[in-house]
Structure 1
């Protein structure tokens, strides 16, 4: 699929039942017709009449309180799973003085904002939800609903006393290091002027909604909202459906990613007519949700949660010898690879041959996805438009047993834009392919800005030692040790996907990050320095390693445009740890057990 010479085919079309080169050519053609000159700038921030980012429709009380001027040991910015895990792991490490600052009205992060109908996690809830054993609960379903996930986030905050000093409806606006006091001075939009010994920044990758910059978007005179700010006052109903106020409404959904996959079936049931505007179809696999088996629940032994999470990442990462405990469609690419290696009968493949083997396994999986579309969708033209033509990892795979059947309903129309997106919006219509579609409501299922989890790129103004801005420190690229700390910015920890390990189960990654940060802070307190800052040499060594070993983006460059490859224009290399997330967690354990702490703790 890419332009690298990967050698001859391992199996021919007759043996495979398909021609790999035909698929490569089709994938490239589908990518090319979706490339846009504006790239990622095709999206705009929700401001003005589209102020979804500012407004919080779920808050029922005001945020009036006196500004705070007190001191805490640790201030955590963000109350999504990252911030909650940081607070919980610090509590388990014996830290008492912790304050969580969150701009929303409660904990939950993405799961606070996402309350659209049909919202669920797409990772098995037994491994996605963190701290299940510590909280003492197990989800009622294999794939938990959004409100149940939000309740679990609240249970974490309750269990670990994180509500006690929390500040909600509050956004951090600035952080300045006070060298004589050895404290961070933190200001907020509520007039607070707090101080903290340590700051943990956990803004999350899905905190800023984005809108498509469609010409005429400001001209529409009907109703609009973003899925992360679902307007039940307009639709009626709740997350389970029942949107009775749409019974006489023509509704348009823009976007066919993970959010639309979940909300479209409910809209299809309740709207007078639903138009789904598609630029690129998602790979939609079976979900197979089911209630939690009580016999399985009784069989669980202490330590089951970590073992199950680790097993999932090992299998999804392609470890063909690992047993599969989770048993869902996420593991299919690895199953196909294992079967293919068995067919080849020779495990001693070269690197190029293993690339070919993974590619062939991917083709088989995506053929399975496309065959499912034909089996479910009755109209041949609609079915053809819903087929994804790209590799499995090019876009986040989705899982639904209701999405594809929704297009068999007479009140549902797929508007395939041929990869170009909606052309323009008028006062009453959306225009695609020269055809106007008159609607009463537009719902933007267009996702969130990504890659802005670090305060160097977005968020509050941060000045470290000698007043140096962190954005200046990051000029020319990220500069961290392990993705968490930076030289010149003592006691500042940043969570998220930057120069560290990544995985599809990001909640697992965040838990490993939180545990590491808590142990480093505990070591600093025990050491008596109370100061964590990597040496310039340690930071540079990690930056050099990341840039030397970072995986090439060749395959992603061949992918259809999306947020994973910066709309078809990925950097030459991705500045993340070259191994998998389990390897990265082990690297951190060895670093802590060895003499690594000497690189961050002052004498």
Structure 2
């Protein structure tokens, strides 16, 4: 999320009152330390902007996102499942009311809400060997959620589960996915280790034909696609990648057979005599560097762009306190979170973390600039100043945190991020920076250039060769494919129209869920709705409630097809396209998947990455009223 999207959120989440009560403002605000705020006002902000642009320009590449490649050739097996053995089975031939593609939290939420609605004739088809989605695949040491578990883990009230920590680790999250499956008896509805290859609408039969890599032929009146944004690993297109003679793997296919240890944190004893290199310092790299530094003989961290790494302050959840939470607490927490993160006011901050802190600071600074009042009309210039002032102060706090933790000044200098906080995914960790104080851990900073090449013995970076026994790729996933890129799920709608063709110039939907020409299809994701940076699983929670309500209504009225109207889809897309753009931060943002890898923003990228301008709090209110009203404006129910 860039400052542009933050603007869209904040401006739609402001309180209705025009004068802000000082006591309320203080209760909701955790101000920047006075030392940082006061001293930073004396800095030359133009010099900081120039520094940001200088660092950005080092990293601009003409190939943009094409710099990454899919695992093919000798790496093709990384797409395979290392956790569940492949077992041959007979093809399935059946008809169901609804087929769900994906068994991550999207599929689990849909299955749960269908059960709640009394709809039991459905099938969940999942490529992994169990429920969990990204948490089935991501079992690297130190994996954890970046959003507080109280709002990230869905269906906590329904399953009666209390997270152990404010930020849960991967094994606990994976187990919660399985818990949902057991609680709602979804294992009886699941087909695992099966990849859906295509969805094709049969207009005569008024149903979808679901094809899989197992030769299944499943027909379904409705289909829902919830494949998630992080399902396919990608590799950096480094010359010589395939020539390395040592061991290598991607973080999402962690090889504990080579490293030793377990996802639960047991020491990786087999690394005791190994020289290990890790390429990538985003969220996955930040999380697995500490255990690697603890266990490897030598660890070399190859860095192109440092992440912002703020304090996480993880801690156990008190069971006695948890018992005091009343019915409906999780929805209340979610609304509270998005309200504060996007600039609104509440009497208490339930989550109280770095996400809500930034939103509150920006909001309070903007109110301060306006003399303690919310102005009658929105002033973009005033908001831009508030946003930029707070962002500068917060990023300076994070850079000073590096100095306070990392003992070697040169290493500390190279770990500092020089870009706006929301240009890239903000990271939070209590051990990452400390790991660079270990004598066996070496930061290899490439000054924005990245690794030069790889040979059979190791890695070349900044003109130096590093002999390695193992290379670990923390290079992330193919993000933002939107069913349009090579390898994406093929969806063919009415009259043979491919979804990839319809969306070639940008994703066109109503509510991010329905698209004209594809009746009875539900897209269960985060685009054009609440939005990715808020809390991914909240999108699935809301979408599943909406899907269940729509399907229930369609069945009650005897509809054969449910489809968005042309007018509703056009209006939704136009609202997204008309949201403010190019307003804050973009010019100095370092390349990343939030900003199309530094390339000029295309219509397709904008429609993919921009949430609806009503903002998440506004969207939550809107969608709740929309699905409970029984009117379902914007949808057509046909015989």
Mark yes or no: TM-score above 0.5: yes
Counterpart Cα distance in 2 of 1:106 and 1:210: 22
Could you give the per-residue CA deviations for residues 450-489 of structure 1, whole angstroms, max 9, x where no partner exists? 1124368753332222222222222332222212112221
Query: SS in structure 2 opposite 1:67?
Result: coil
Residue 354 of structure 1 corresponds to 383
Counterpart Cα distance in 1 of 2:339 and 2:446: 38
Residue 615 of structure 2 corresponds to 580
Residue 393 of structure 2 corresponds to 364
Distance change in 2, residues 1:557/1:531 (3 Å):
farther
Answer yes or no: is 1:151 the counterpart of 2:175: yes
Alignment map for 1:155-166 (pairs within 5 Å): 155-166=179-190
Residue 572 of structure 2 corresponds to 542
From 134, 144, 153, give the equivalent of 1:110. Answer: 134
Residue 312 of structure 1 corresponds to 337
Query: SS in structure 1 opposite 2:97?
Result: strand
Residue 599 of structure 2 corresponds to 569
From 99, 107, 110, give the equivalent of 2:123. Answer: 99
Answer yes or no: is 1:129 the counterpart of 2:165: no
Residue 200 of structure 2 corresponds to 176
Query: SS in structure 1 opposite 2:351?
Result: coil
Answer yes or no: is 1:380 the counterpart of 2:409: yes
Distance change in 2, residues 1:402/1:354 (3 Å):
same
Residue 308 of structure 2 corresponds to 283
Answer yes or no: is 1:519 the counterpart of 2:521: no
Distance change in 2, residues 1:16/1:554 (3 Å):
closer
CA contact (8 A) 2:3 2:583 kept: no
Residue 64 of structure 1 corresponds to 88
Query: SS in structure 2 opposite 1:65?
Result: coil
Alignment map for 1:45-60 (pairs within 5 Å): 45-60=70-85
Residue 427 of structure 2 corresponds to 398
CA contact (8 A) 1:557 1:569 kept: no
Offset of residue 526 of structure 1: 1.2
Offset of residue 509 of structure 1: 1.7
Query: SS in structure 2 opposite 1:218?
Result: helix
From 315, 322, 333, give the equivalent of 1:297. Answer: 322
Offset of residue 338 of structure 1: 4.9
Q: Which moved more, 1:530-539 or 1:364-373?
A: 530-539
Could you give the per-residue CA deviations for residues 470-526 of structure 1, whole angstroms, max 9, x where no partner exists? 222223322222121122211011122333231421111221111111111111111
Aligned pair count?
A: 596
Distance change in 2, residues 1:569/1:15 (3 Å):
closer
Distance change in 2, residues 1:196/1:2 (3 Å):
closer
Counterpart Cα distance in 2 of 1:340 and 1:494: 38
Q: Which moved more, 1:534-543 or 1:84-93?
A: 534-543
Q: Which moved more, 1:306-315 or 1:324-333?
A: 324-333
Distance change in 2, residues 1:520/1:2 (3 Å):
closer
Residue 635 of structure 2 corresponds to 599
Counterpart Cα distance in 1 of 2:600 and 2:477: 18
Counterpart Cα distance in 1 of 2:367 and 2:489: 53
Distance change in 2, residues 1:509/1:549 (3 Å):
same
Offset of residue 67 of structure 1: 0.7
Offset of residue 330 of structure 1: 2.1
**TM-score (norm: length of structure 1):** 0.94
Query: SS in structure 2 opposite 1:177?
Result: strand
Counterpart Cα distance in 2 of 1:495 and 1:556: 29
Residue 29 of structure 2 corresponds to none
Distance change in 2, residues 1:233/1:184 (3 Å):
same
Query: SS in structure 2 opposite 1:164?
Result: helix
Offset of residue 600 of structure 1: 2.2
CA contact (8 A) 1:76 1:99 kept: yes
Counterpart Cα distance in 1 of 2:424 and 2:568: 35
Alignment map for 1:453-532 (pairs within 5 Å): 453-454=482-483, 459-502=488-531, 503-532=533-562
From 64, 77, 80, give the equivalent of 2:101. Answer: 77
Offset of residue 598 of structure 1: 6.2
Residue 351 of structure 2 corresponds to 326
Counterpart Cα distance in 2 of 1:224 and 1:272: 17
CA contact (8 A) 2:402 2:433 kept: yes
Query: SS in structure 2 opposite 1:174?
Result: strand
Offset of residue 572 of structure 1: 5.2
Alignment map for 1:180-329 (pairs within 5 Å): 180-239=204-263, 240-319=265-344, 323-329=348-354
Q: Which has the higher contact order (CA 8 A, sep 6+)?
A: 2
Counterpart Cα distance in 2 of 1:323 and 1:19: 36
**TM-score (norm: length of structure 2):** 0.89
Distance change in 2, residues 1:443/1:598 (3 Å):
closer
Counterpart Cα distance in 2 of 1:330 and 1:192: 44
Distance change in 2, residues 1:96/1:456 (3 Å):
farther
Answer yes or no: is 1:555 the counterpart of 2:585: yes
Answer yes or no: is 1:337 the counterpart of 2:362: yes
Offset of residue 28 of structure 1: 1.2
Query: SS in structure 1 opposite 2:190?
Result: coil
CA contact (8 A) 1:551 1:578 kept: no
CA contact (8 A) 1:370 1:388 kept: yes
Offset of residue 22 of structure 1: 1.9
Offset of residue 176 of structure 1: 1.6
From 425, 432, 436, give the equivalent of 2:454. Answer: 425
CA contact (8 A) 1:553 1:570 kept: no
Query: SS in structure 2 opposite 1:454?
Result: coil
Offset of residue 88 of structure 1: 1.1
Distance change in 2, residues 1:297/1:15 (3 Å):
closer
Query: SS in structure 2 opposite 1:549?
Result: coil
Residue 119 of structure 1 corresponds to 143
Distance change in 2, residues 1:340/1:478 (3 Å):
closer
CA contact (8 A) 1:336 1:365 kept: no
Q: What is the CA RMSD across the aligned residues, in angstroms?
A: 2.3
CA contact (8 A) 2:139 2:253 kept: yes
Could you give the per-residue CA deviations for residues 86-144 of structure 1, whole angstroms, max 9, x where no partner exists? 11111112211110001111110000000001111111111110000011111111111
